[in-house]
Chains A and B, each alone.
Chain A
Amino acid sequence: MALPELKQTATQERLSSLSQPEGGCLAGARHAALSRVQATGLPGRRDEYWKYTRPDTLVQATAPEASVFHHDEEPMFDGFDRLKIVFVDGVFDESASDDLELEGVRIDRISDISKQDIHWVKDLYGVLEARGQSPVARPLAALNTAFAREGVAIHVTGKPSKPINLIYIHKSEKSDAMLHHVIRVDPGAEATILENGPAASRFNKCTEIDIADGASLHLICAQGRDHERRAATHMFARLGKETTFKSFTLTVNGVLTRNETVVELLGDDAVAHVSGACVGDGDFHHDDTVFVTHDAVNCESRQVFKKVLRNGATGVFQGKILVKNKAQKTDGYQISQALMLDDDSQFLAKPELEIYADDVVCSHGSTSGAIDENALFYLRSRGVPNDAATDLLTLAFLGEAVDEIEDHEIATDIVERLENWLIRRR
């Protein structure tokens, strides 16, 4: 079917502003991705999947400018021993990065891989993204596969002694960055990957993750705190037998963020937890779109998303659990909740379950509400001032999502940062 004219024009305009990296072993994947974008067109306002989030500024040929936000808070994860890989406005910064050497893991830059021929990267780059285009198209991810020049290929072969930290620095008001990462975790291997920073004025990130049997991966991502930045991120994860995948995303500020997560549980006894906490006020729009597919026996999945909104901020949640007919003994859980600190904010939620197996436990819940007045009075009657009591209850609300972080020290650090955010906005 031909694309509507408006969509075709917008897509052509965007495509003509970009050029593909030439040659290399990923050329085939990039060309195929370009065909996918051309076939579906880029997201438009009338697309059902973009009903609650306007894609215009994510799609338009030139990125809207975003001022660089300066603050005196210690950069995220600075207090932790990690291997740093720094990108400034989407470009690898060798001098600010550590040597990409760490026992138990091999790290290559996507821009170098094009010249080499690393089999696992070829087998993964654009592959999970392509799988993730059905049943719902994700054209911004295909656009990323087709045009991203930078990113890292992380091959976890053992148990690296420290986390790998991807740091995204925003320097130029006009930056429009694309990064494509591929991560492969070998059987029985384990790693933690941290990501933080605003990245660019407009950021398109795509991560493909392949977790082999018995392996585990933890991802902790902090987006923020630049107010005017825009981001569309996609994460595609494929889980083998007896694997564990846990992802937590913290989003602070940002005029537009759309985080799409696509998880496929393909091996028996796999566990996938996808969680997120966000805080925003005023001109803040945050969208979590999650699609978890159970296609194996006895797997567990959890989606836990909490949003604190005020002064007209908007939160969106579109979450789905699809249980295929052979996925017996599935344990699926999904919760999305918004805490609205005033009457001006809104939360738009579309929780979905689609179940074809008959022996499953699946539950979902979605709520939006204000601070519990009874709890607030209880705290105040014990002498806790109104502001502090409100903050305490707000942090408690975010707690269920933050609790998904296994590393206690990182979780504590994130709670402190959230607390400071709340205090600054009293």
Chain B
Amino acid sequence: MLNINNLHVQLEEEDKQILKGVNLTVEPGKVHAIMGPNGSGKSTLSYVLSGKGGYEVTEGSATLDGQDLLEQEAEERAAAGLFLAFQYPVEIPGVGNMTFLRTAVNAQRKARGEDELSAAEFLKEVRAQAKSLKIDAEMLKRPVNVGFSGGEKKRNEILQMAMLQPKMCILDETDSGLDVDAMKLVAEGVNALRSENRGFLVITHYQRLLDHIKPDVVHIMANGRIVKTGGPELALEVENNGYADILAEVG
């Protein structure tokens, strides 16, 4: 599904290499976790995959179901089924959450040549999804993320994911800024979306999120590369011993 091959990325504005040859394959139905110390390039990887500006790919490739992602605009990647849950969801004053969701859903449907959802169909769907994420009607009416608490913002990300039904979901430190209860709620939302056709890439600093979203594969990223790959036990090892041992081991 998601194939990343020898990906090298540097900042556009300065000559600074961030990713130095990332190799990663996520299969449908699998949850991959990426852990790693600050500055290892985890968030950059998520931004480059989803099409944020300011980065230059100097080598390597990234494909989703064989389609070259790096050639596509951000909106094309989204329509192709890629979704990024932001570490810091952006506040957009003046744009209602409902308007935003409906515009996004219908833009993707249109790009895929499908019929747009009617107002009634959309409303029914969004109400059902919001209910399971404990998002109240008032939150749907407010401008996107404006005045939302940290937990509300992250639940809103998961709501978007649920509405857009992407093939490949990247969660960038979705656990940051969440209390235990909120993390459970978000994790339940994510788990409800797990299916044999959908892949997940969960970026996190801490093992605790992985207690709730059980990964199939865990990668350790350091200095712009994936330095170690293993099963869920690798996350526990990090939790107990920190990154130092692993980094020393891989040199």
Contacts and interface: CB of A to CB of B under 8 A. Distances in A.
Interface of A: 373-375, 377-386, 388-389, 392-393, 395-397, 399-400
A377 B74 contact: yes
B78 A381 contact: yes
Majority SS of interface residues in chain A?
helix
Contact of B94 (A374, A382, A384, A399): A399
Contacts of A392: 95, 99-100, 103
Contacts, number: 78
28 contacts: A373-B53, A375-B90, A375-B92, A377-B52, A377-B90, A378-B90, A378-B92, A379-B100, A380-B73, A380-B74, A380-B78, A381-B52, A381-B74, A381-B75, A381-B83, A382-B104, A382-B107, A382-B164, A383-B79, A383-B104, A383-B107, A383-B108, A383-B164, A384-B75, A385-B75, A385-B111, A389-B75, A396-B92
Contacts of B108: 382-383
B50 A381 contact: yes
Interface in B56-115: 73-75, 77-79, 83-84, 86, 89-95, 99-100, 103-105, 107-108, 111
B160 interface: yes
Contact of B107 (A375, A385, A399): A385
B111 A383 contact: yes
Given A380-B73, A388-B103, A392-B95, A374 B111 contact: no
Nearest to B92: A375
Contacts of A382: 78, 100, 104, 107-108, 160, 164
B28 interface: no
A381 B100 contact: no
B37 interface: no
Contacts of B79: 383
A305 to B, nearest CB: 16
B51 interface: yes
A383 B75 contact: yes
Contacts of B84: 381
Given A377-B52, A380-B51, A383-B107, 20 more contacts: A375-B90, A378-B89, A378-B92, A380-B74, A380-B78, A381-B50, A381-B75, A381-B83, A381-B84, A382-B107, A382-B160, A383-B104, A384-B107, A386-B73, A388-B103, A392-B103, A393-B94, A396-B95, A396-B143, A400-B94
A402 to B, nearest CB: 10
